[in-house]
Amino acid sequence: MISITGRPGRLCDGVSRRELIEMGGSSLLGLSLAGFLQGKAQAGESAPVGGAAPVGGAGFGKAKSVIFCFLQGGPSHLDIWDPKPDAPDNIRGIFKPIQTKTPGLIFSEHMPRLAQVTDKVTMIQSVSYTPVGLFNHTAAHYQMLTGYTPDKVSPSGQLEPPSPRDFPNIGSVIAKLRPTGQPMFPVVQMPRPMQESNVIGKAGNAGFLGRAFDPYFLFQDPNQPLKMDDLAPRSDTPIARLQKRSSLWETVNKGMPQLQKATASFALNDYYSQAFDLLLSGKAREAFRLDAETAEMRDRYGRSTFGQSCLLARRLVEAGTKFVQVNWPAVANGNPVVDAFDTHASNFGPLKDLHLPKLDPALATLIEDLDQRGLLDETLVLAIGEFGRSPIMGVSTSGNSNSPDGRDHWPYCYTAMIAGAGVGRGVAYGKSDKHASSPIDSPVHPTELLATIYHAVGLAPDTVLYNDLGQPRPLVQASIVPGLYA
């Protein structure tokens, strides 16, 4: 995948926005790319293997696209969508419960919009894992988005910066194994990378698959006017000239057997063609035009960074993008008064005043909008954080300090919303105990959710990728969530 950042320069090990799409000079025909891309090709070979995860079955290949709303920071499941009104004061919190459209399923009073569309989704109230060095955000991000636990975790849970040997983000895997076949970015990530402290973008790129499969990183706030200069031809390069260069590249590529041999498995010409197609078609640029939406529709999603990112996600999958990752737009290890879900210092005020007024309309409208447009049948939507929050307030479960009304990290039980592509509608899946501290029915590991995403896009979860050392690695070592499909 061509990675073009939204501002000059680089982030972590991503490609600078002009490295593969520069339209001037002899760099277009730079033969030194052949060896580079050949190495990336070796890292990306794949093969299906036998195993517990069957190819086919309910929901297999039903999703043309995936929208992954990653609620980084660890939202409190007890105070959003698994309240326990009969629990003691220091567990249940101060929010009142409300009924949803799904019998027996209650939400927090501050999620009224989503409560009215639960007839279109499955709420999984039994997501759970036992942490091994995954008690803090960055390590948990890595598991949630790659399906693997990191090799090196400090006592604080911090990881090393992104590395070319990392396991790839699930979107990058889908970009490689399920290409779009049209002039559209296969995978987009927005509006900012994942971050904890000084570790930025871990588990957000293509890792050992190579930079060509990195997401398109938007790195802009969709609630502000978007500047998509990268998707427009340079003012000094007319369209006709680009078309001639595209034809020239095809001619030269056909006439150079050595280059063809060096890139046979990687199809170097595909990536130059993709760069040309993105510029010439204008389809990608048009997809980012939120100003083409009505003011009413934008208001329904909510005039927030998260709300407008969800609207942009719908426009992208409508245009052909395979995988959109919408990150909650606050640093996971941030201050709750500036919109972070990490509510150690204060839980209820930030949820009531900042988080839920943005989360509720965005998710509810995304589901409604996709359904009304006939897209929900072919789009899988998942909203989840890396873990939940501690049932008992004011206690330390991860070595962090907490205020009396703060909640610490809690991976033992939390909630996910999943919808579309054949997933059951109006379903409360699994069940937590009376304090929402552990599952008492149908526990779901995060890697099972990733296996389900792969299954939905038509990939057996045990399909093998080969890393940069030629070692076989299955996409994920888990089976799909059982009984999820209607």
Query: For residue range 347-359, what is the model confidence (pLDDT) as tens digits?
Result: 999 999 999 999 9
Distance CA 289, CA 320 (A): 15
Under 8 Å between Cβ of 259 and 316: no
Lowest mean pLDDT among 50-64, 70-84, 168-182, 278-292: 50-64
Instruction: Check residues 134 and 26 and name the one with the higher pLDDT.
Output: 134
Under 8 Å between Cβ of 34 and 246: no
The pLDDT, as a whole number, for residue 272 is 53
Residue 20 lies in a domain: no
Residue 377 lies in a domain: yes
How much of the chain exceeds pLDDT 90, in percent? 64
Tell me which range, 36-45, 191-200, 294-303, 399-408, is most confidently predicted by mean pLDDT.
294-303
Distance CA 410, CA 388 (A): 5
Bridge partners (DSSP) listed for residue 46: 465
Mean pLDDT, the chain, whole residue set: 83
Domain residues for the domain of 285 are 28-474
pLDDT confidence band for 337 (50 / 70 / 90)? low
The tally of domains found in the chain comes to: 1
Model confidence at 467: pLDDT above 70: yes
Residue 156 lies in a domain: yes
Model confidence at 260: pLDDT above 60: no
Q: What is the pTM of this model?
A: 0.84
Model confidence at 244: pLDDT above 60: no
Instruction: Check residues 251 and 342 and name the one with the higher pLDDT.
Output: 342
Residue 4 lies in a domain: no
Q: Distances in Å between the alpha carbon of 116 and those of 98, 113, 210, 400, 411? A: 10, 5, 43, 36, 28
Residue 211 lies in a domain: yes
The one-letter amino acid at 349: G
Residue 480 lies in a domain: no
Q: Is the peptide bond before 191 cis (omega within 30 degrees of 0)?
A: yes
DSSP-derived letter for residue 444 is B
Residue 376 lies in a domain: yes
Under 8 Å between Cβ of 327 and 189: yes
The pLDDT, as a whole number, for residue 251 is 52
The pLDDT, as a whole number, for residue 103 is 95
The one-letter amino acid at 45: E
The pLDDT, as a whole number, for residue 50 is 38
Distance CA 73, CA 409 (A): 9
Q: Which conformational region is residue 70 in: left (phi greater than 0), alpha (psi within -120 to 50 degrees), or beta?
A: beta
Span 388-398, average pLDDT = 95
Instruction: Check residues 231 and 20 and name the one with the higher pLDDT.
Output: 231
Q: What CATH number is given to the structural domain containing 55?
A: 3.40.720
Residue 15 lies in a domain: no
Query: For residue range 3-62, what is the model confidence (pLDDT) as tens digits?
Result: 333 333 333 333 333 333 333 333 333 333 333 334 444 445 565 543 344 478 999 999
Lowest mean pLDDT among 6-20, 134-148, 193-207: 6-20
Which residue has tokens 């070595």?
399
